Structures are given as structure tokens and as C-alpha cells.
Structure 1
Amino acid sequence: MVNFISTLSPVMQALLATLFTWGMTAVGAALVFTTKKVNQKLMDGMLGSAGGIMIAASFWSLLSPAIEMAEDGPFPAWVPAAVGFLFGGFFLWAADKIIPHLHPSLTLDRAEGFNSKSKKRSTLLVFAITLHNIPEGLAVGVAFGAVAAGYPTASLAAAVALAIGIGIQNLPEGTAVAMPLRREGMSRRKSFFYGQFSGMVEPIAAVIGVLAVSFMTPILPFALAFAAGAMIFVVVEEVIPGSQENGNGDLATVCLMLGFTVMMILDVAFS
């Protein structure tokens, strides 16, 4: 598979990779065709593993390469990583305050963002997951952009491994949107549509990411760290709390460690 991908342009590589991650979101949303409710322990375990995958990917696939790439730059190697990481978190924090959205586990009265009280629950749920899928798409895009830029610390296999890891953790995200809508009486078809729709932003963000770093190579360490910071913000602000609030904290924690380990193995093995 890696040999085939290597023959494609960086933009096409990032696009295909994020079409896969979008497809995994659709797989998670497709569970509405079989049931109205997913076992809560299973859901919390999947969320925990998703958090572990995102944390591991943030370091091994993004922050560590950003530091290595910056070693020969004009700044101390830690500067691009620190600045990009903090700015990525700040960007998601600001977006959370502005864009109306609702985390899947919360009631409508706890919606966040500008004018959120006037929006439908379905719209708010989709906005929440869509907002948090942006850094994942960017992460894949800049990873393939780093390969195209010829950095020795970046490899095509590692970029593919990152896409696989993000795809795995997208599965519970699709479920987390579609299932609440189905329980509230929305048809299976509409629930599935809204659930998979939340992953549509990833191919768009990936193409933007790979084009940005292709034309502005010096920003690559900052871009990698930015994606890492945004992903960590999502994990701490939503994924981990969501996995812990239903009394399955130990299970979610164990699954987080397993997800972290799987992503670490994928990244190190393919680097």
C-alpha cells in the first residue's frame, strides 16, 4: 500500500488518507442501522482508546518531528514546538467560544458558543465533532507535507500510520453523534448522515495543511506543533471527560493506555 501511495502527489496522498479517516467516521455512524443504543462500557472504552491514540500521535507523529526539524533552524529547537503547540490549543479554545456546538454527552442547556441556544441539537452535535476533526485533518496533511518537503525525520510510512491511527479513533466519534440523534427519534438514515457528515471536514483540512507547508516549508515545525496542540486540547477538553463521566473510569483509563500503546507501536514501527 505504501509503495502505491508513494507514486501519488502529496495532495492526493493526504486526500486519500483522510477519505479513509472520514470513512471510519461513517463506519461508526452506521451502527445506528443495527441498534438504538451502544453499550455504555463499550462506548467509554472506545473513547478512552481514542484519547490514547490522539495523545500518542500528538507526540510521536507531530511534536517530536517538529523539534527535530527545527534543530537546524534560526530558533532554538524548542521554540517552534512550544509556540505552535500553545497556539494550536488557543485556536481550539477560541473556536469553542465562538462556534455553537454541543458535546454528545451533555444536555442542550449546556451548549457552548455564540447564539448556541437557538440551534437544533442535531446541528450542535455535528458542529462539535466537526470542529474537533479539523486538527486531525491538518495533522495528516502536514505529515504528508513533511514527507514531500524531504525532511529526513519524516517518512511516508509514518504518515500512513498516523492516518490509520486517526481513522481508528474516528469510529467512536461517528457513533457519538449518530446514536444520540437516533435515541431522540431521528430516522436511521438521517442519524447516519449527520454522524458521517462530521468527518467531511478532515479531507478539506488535510489538503489545506499539505498545500500550506508545501508552499511555506519554513512553517512546517510550527504547523506540526499546532496540530499537536489542537489535538491535545480536544483530548483533555472532551474525549477524556466524556469517557469518565458514566462510572467506567478504570475501563476508560486502561483503554486509553492501550490506545496510546497501539499508536506508539504504529508510529515507531513505521518511522
Structure 2
Amino acid sequence: MDSQVMVALALSLVGGLSTSIVTIVAFGYSPTLRMDTGFSCFLYGFTHLNEMKNNTTSEGFGSVFFGVEVCWDQESLQLSCALFVILFEAPNLKMLGLLQGFAAGLMLSISFLDLAHNAINSIGFLKGNLWFFGGVVFFGIIANFIPEPTFAPGSDVKSKKKNGDQGGKDIIKKHRRQVLFSGIITAIGISLHNFPEGMAVFLGSIKGLRVGLNLALAIALHNIPEGVAVALPIYFATQSKWQAFKLATVSGFAEPLGVVLVAYLFPSSLSPEILEGLLASVGGVMAFLTLHEMLPLAFDYAGQKQAVKAVFFGMAFMSASLYFLEISLPEEMSL
């Protein structure tokens, strides 16, 4: 099984790199998605051909092969969104605040309506909440040791009025460190979300590869706003396209990593109850990060009313995405 996973990962990287090259040329244009889908089609037929030849080896090799490739396809589309973001100039503070609010909505929807909700349904109300708030408390303690950049919004506004354009530039410089901190938090949250998503892809494909192209397309569309949410604040804060692209890449790699790790850990050493509890804790961590860091930043930059609208728009968008993903899965499986 070890060599099969390594071979599958190597082959999926080759396929993923080919789609990434098209992404760079097309800037997120639809042929990227068509190439991903076509390659997944090839893998689907290839694994079934192997299954006819040898049922024993095909199920293990084909499932890992398909699972890693599907996750790499989602990584490619997430990178295409990051590339689309960094091709344009950094946004102004109000637009950044709106996008931070949108990203906060994505994170809250994932935390409460996906991870925590599924855990409560699987392991019960009490255990699900204990795991969830355990994650909140755990990261709340960690946050006390993380230095946070601070600034005085009122004095910044006065400085802008006095100094005109130069004052506006000074404001942006003062705020970039805080935006960078928020961007790193977003990348961590998206990575934590992508990891169990990769695990779900593997567990779904191991059931006979019936998830197929619907799952590949659904997760690809599901990851579109995530690449934007990760790349945008990093690009704004660092003014470096490479840094934005690099962090989006790292966050996307959580999915194929989830496939590889679950191939070794599940089901021999990781019970379903513990797995659901850990995912609930991830939801608690994401909720804390969003409410503690991202929402205040959105309020400061876009104003409370506009930021709240952006938050609910992000929640609605992610809820629709999760629903689309759910109906794409077989009846006996859920994310």
C-alpha cells in the first residue's frame, strides 16, 4: 500500500502540474476546469480497467490514485483563483474590508453549518459541543501568546485629512501588518477545512469510485472563493505576488495530504467518533479565528453595515456551495 500511495501521488502531481500550467496561461479561464475534468475522466476509466483485471490491487491503488488526483484538481483551481487575484492591483481599504467580511462568512458557514453540524449529528449534541468549544478554548489560549498589531483608526483618519494622498499611503502601510496577520489566519482556516475534505474524497472513492466526476466538479467549484480569500489579503499586505501564490499553494496542499494520511490512519487507528470530534474542534478554531480577527478587521475597513452584509453574503455563498457538494455525493456518504 505504501508504494501504491507514493506512485499515485507522483502521477497526480504530474497531472496537477499540467493543469497549473494551463491555469497560468488562461488566468482562471474555463479550459482549466475542462482539462481537470477530462483527466479525472481518464483516471476513472483507468481504475475501472484495472479493476476488471485485478480486483484485489485495483481497489487500493485506484482509489488512492483517483482520490489524490481529484484533490490535486481542486488545488489547481484554487491556485487559478489566487493567480486571478494577483494579476490585478491591490484593492483599497474599503474593498479589502468587504472581501474580509466575505471570507469571514465563508469561515463561519464552514464552522457552524458544516463541521460542527455534522459532528453533532454523528456523535451527539453533548459530545459535539464539547469538542467544538474545546477547540475554541484551545486556540483562545494560544491567541494570548500571539502578538497582534494594533493601530488607532481615528488618528489615521485625521492624518489622512491633513496630508491628503500621502496620508492615505501612510494608512495603508500601518494596516498592512494587521492584514498580513488576518491573511495567515485565513490560510490556516482554509487548510484545516481542506484537510478533512481530502479525507472525504478518499473515503468516497474507496467505496467504488462512484463519486466520480460530480465530486471532482463540485469540490472544484466549492474551492473557487477559498483561493481568493487566501491570496487577496497576503497580496495586499506584502505587495508580493509570489508570497500570495505561495500561501494559496500551501493551503491547497492540505487536500492531497488528507488523502495520503487517511490512507494510513483510517480505519485502523482512528475511530469515526474521534474523527468527527476532531473536525468539530477544527470548527471551533475557525470560529474563534473569524470572530476574533477577521470580523474586527472587516468592520474597521468597510464599516459595520457593509461588513455585515458581506459576511451574510459569504455565508449564503458557502451554504449554497456545501449544498451543491452534498447533492453530488452518494446517498450513503456525506462530507
TM normalised by structure 1 equals 0.68
- Structure 2 match to 1:67: 120
Does residue 179 (structure 1) correspond to residue 236 (structure 2)? The answer is yes
Judging changes above 3 Å, is the alpha-carbon distance between structure 1 residues 197 and 235 closer, same or farther for their aligned structure 2 residues? same
Q: Which runs of 5+ in 2 are unaligned?
A: 1-36, 45-64, 152-174, 327-335
- For residues 127 and 73 of structure 2, the distance between their equivalents in structure 1, rounded to whole angstroms, comes to 28
**Greater radius of gyration (CA):** 2
- For residues 309 and 181 of structure 2, the distance between their equivalents in structure 1, rounded to whole angstroms, comes to 29
- For residues 217 and 135 of structure 2, the distance between their equivalents in structure 1, rounded to whole angstroms, comes to 22
- Structure 2 match to 1:242: 297
Secondary structure at the residue paired with 2:301? Answer: coil
Question: Cα deviation per residue 1:84-110 (whole Å; 9 max; x = unaligned)?
Answer: 3234334544554556676xxx56xxx
**Structure 1 position 163, deviation (Å):** 6.0
Q: Which has the higher contact order (CA 8 A, sep 6+)?
A: 1
**Structure 1 position 192, deviation (Å):** 1.0
- Structure 2 match to 1:133: 187
Question: Cα deviation per residue 1:159-189 (whole Å; 9 max; x = unaligned)?
Answer: 965664454144244222222333xxxxxxx
User: How many aligned positions are there?
Assistant: 236
- For residues 163 and 90 of structure 1, the distance between their equivalents in structure 2, rounded to whole angstroms, comes to 32
- Structure 1 match to 2:135: 88
Native 8 Å contact 2:198 2:257 kept in 1: no
- For residues 199 and 139 of structure 1, the distance between their equivalents in structure 2, rounded to whole angstroms, comes to 13
Secondary structure at the residue paired with 1:197? Answer: helix
- Structure 2 match to 1:226: 281
- For residues 230 and 165 of structure 1, the distance between their equivalents in structure 2, rounded to whole angstroms, comes to 21
**Structure 1 position 263, deviation (Å):** 1.3
- Structure 2 match to 1:193: 242
Bigger share in helix: 2
Matches within 5 A, 1:75-224: 77-97=124-144, 106=150, 129-149=183-203, 161=218, 164-182=221-239, 191-214=240-263, 215=265, 216-218=270-272, 219-224=274-279
Native 8 Å contact 1:158 1:267 kept in 2: no
**Structure 1 position 240, deviation (Å):** 0.8
> RMSD between aligned alpha carbons?
3.7
- Structure 2 match to 1:265: 320
Secondary structure at the residue paired with 1:14? Answer: helix
Matches within 5 A, 1:23-62: 23-31=80-88, 35=89, 37-62=90-115
Give the percent of matched residue pairs that are identical in Structure 1 and Structure 2.
19
Structure 2 letter corresponding to 1:223: L
- Structure 2 match to 1:11: 68
Structure 2 letter corresponding to 1:57: I
Native 8 Å contact 2:198 2:256 kept in 1: no
**Structure 1 position 132, deviation (Å):** 4.0
- For residues 185 and 303 of structure 2, the distance between their equivalents in structure 1, rounded to whole angstroms, comes to 26
